[in-house]
Amino acid sequence: MRVLVTTAPLHGHFFPMVPLAWALRSAGHDVLVAAPANFVDDIAGAGLPAVPSAGPIGFADFMFHDRDGTPLTPPADPAARRAGSGRAWGRLAARTLDGVREIVGNWRPDLLVCEPTEYAGQLAAATAGIAWVEHWWGLAVQPEYRPFAQRELEPELQRLGLRDLPEPALRIDVSPPSVQRPGVPDAQRMRYVPFNGPALLPPWASQPRHRPRICVTLGSMLPKHGLLDFGGMLRDFAAGLTGLGADVVIAVDDQVAAGWTDLPDGVRAAGWLPLNLVLPACDLVVHHGGPGSVFTALALGVPQLALPQTADQFENADRMVATGAGLRLLPAERGTTTVVAACEQLLADPLFGKNAAVVAEEIATAPTPAEVVGVLERLAVPLRPDEERL
C-alpha cells in the first residue's frame, strides 16, 4: 500500500502524525510526506521521505497576508480570529493544491492521511477517487475552520467540480476521552505517542537531580511571530522560578536565546529541545497551551502550567485543567509573580502529579499506531456487521 501524508509546514501539525507514518513503514507500506519546500528538511529529519508540494511558504505568508500578498490585521474578537484562521488554511491549500494533485497523479497512492487543516490533500484525494483519513493532532480541530476554509476555496472547488470540501473515510483521534471535547465526530482512537523532533538526549537529562526541575517553553511560533516580547517573558519567568529552589530549563530556538547574557545561576537556555526527551527529567512544564506541549506532558504524566495566548491554546488549556493535571493563567493574569506562585502550588500539591499519571495511563490504553495500521489497510474493504473498530 502507498500512503501519501500531507501537512501544513508546521511542527505542531506534522509531528503527531509521525508515529503512524513510522508504523506504516514498519508494516511494509510505502509512505511519502508532502509539504511546502521550506518544511521538507523537517520531514526528512523525522526519518520519512519528503516531497515538496509547492515552493517555500512561511507561516506569516498565508496566515497574515491575503492571496495577493496584502497584509491582514488579526481581529481582536476570538470568533473572528478563528474564522480568519480558517480562511488562512484555505489560502495555504490554494497555493499547494496543484502540486499535491500532481504528486497524487504521479505517485498514485492508495490512501491519503491528512492533518485537519491541510485541505489540498483532501481535495486531491476526492478528485482522484482515493480514500483519505483525517489525523487529528490533539483535540478535534475547531469547527469554525472548515466552513471558512471552504469559502476561501470556492474558486478551487468550482474548478474541480466539487460543491463542498470532502468528508474523510476515517478520523483518527489521539486525545484520551477525558480530555477530548464532547460532541466530536466518531473517530478511531489511537495512542498519542509523543514525538517533538529529532535531537540528542542532553547528558543532564539522564543524570540524577537533587532539586526540582522546571521546563519553560512557549513553543516554536510565539517567540518568532507573536506580537509581544515572548522571548523576554521566557527569560523573566525562568529567573523568577529559581526562587523556588528549582533548576530551570528554557526550551527555545537558539536564535531567540542568542541575546540572553544575564541568566542567573540555575537557569539553562538549552536551545530547541524535543519535549518527549526533556520532560521525563522534569517535575513540571510551563508552556503556551499548544497541542504538542499539552499532550506530550499528559502522555508522560508531567504536571503543567499553561499560558494560552491564541487560537486553540485556550481550549487545550481548559481541557487539561479539567483533568486536574495542571493549572492555566490567562493573558491578563500572566506575569512573573503569578507564574511563580502557580508553579509553587503545582510542585507542592502531589494531587496534580497523581492526576497527570491517571491521564497518562488512559493514553497508554489506546490502540497503538501499529494496531491502527490494520484499520487503514481495511479501509477499502467494507466492514462486516460483526466488525468494530479497535
pLDDT in tens, 54-71: 999 999 999 999 999 999
| Residue written as grid cell 469559502 | 151
Residue 235's pLDDT is what? 82
Residue 260: pLDDT band (50, 70, 90) is low
Residue 383's pLDDT is what? 42
Residue 264: pLDDT band (50, 70, 90) is confident
| Residue written as grid cell 524535543 | 274
- Half-sphere CA count of 193, side-chain side, radius 13 A: 14
Q: Give the pLDDT confidence of 160-173 residue by residue, as tens digits.
A: 999 999 999 999 99
Q: Give the pLDDT confidence of 278-330 residue by residue, as tens digits.
A: 999 999 999 999 999 999 999 999 999 999 988 789 999 999 999 999 999 99
Q: Give the pLDDT confidence of 68-124 residue by residue, as tens digits.
A: 999 998 888 888 888 999 999 999 999 999 999 999 999 999 999 999 999 999 999
Question: Closest Cα to residue 308, out of 338, 332, 283, 274?
Answer: 332
CA–CA dist 81, 60 (Å, integer)? 15
Residue 216 lies inside a defined structural domain of this protein: yes
14 in the same domain as 158: yes
- CATH number at 54 reads 3.40.50.2000
Q: Give alpha helix (H) positions in the chain.
A: 11-14, 18-26, 40-45, 59-63, 78-107, 119-128, 145-152, 154-160, 222-225, 230-241, 254-257, 275-278, 291-300, 313-322, 336-348, 350-364, 369-377
Domain that holds residue 330: 203-364
Specify the range with the lowest mean pLDDT, choosing from 69-78, 221-230, 272-281. Answer: 221-230
335 in the same domain as 244: yes
Q: Is the pLDDT of residue 384 over 50?
A: no
CA–CA dist 287, 217 (Å, integer)? 5
Residue 388 lies inside a defined structural domain of this protein: no
Average pLDDT, the chain: 91
Give percent of the chain with pLDDT exceeding 90. 76
- Mean per-residue pLDDT, 213-240: 73
- Return the C-alpha torsion angle 285, 287, 291, 297, nearest 10: 0
Residue 137's pLDDT is what? 94
258 in the same domain as 182: no
371 in the same domain as 359: no
346 in the same domain as 238: yes
Instruction: List, as one string, the DSSP characters of 220-239.
Output: TTHHHH-SS-HHHHHHHHHH
119 in the same domain as 27: yes
Residue 80 lies inside a defined structural domain of this protein: yes
In this structure, how many other beta carbons lie within 10 angstroms of the beta carbon of residue 20? 25
Residue 219's pLDDT is what? 66
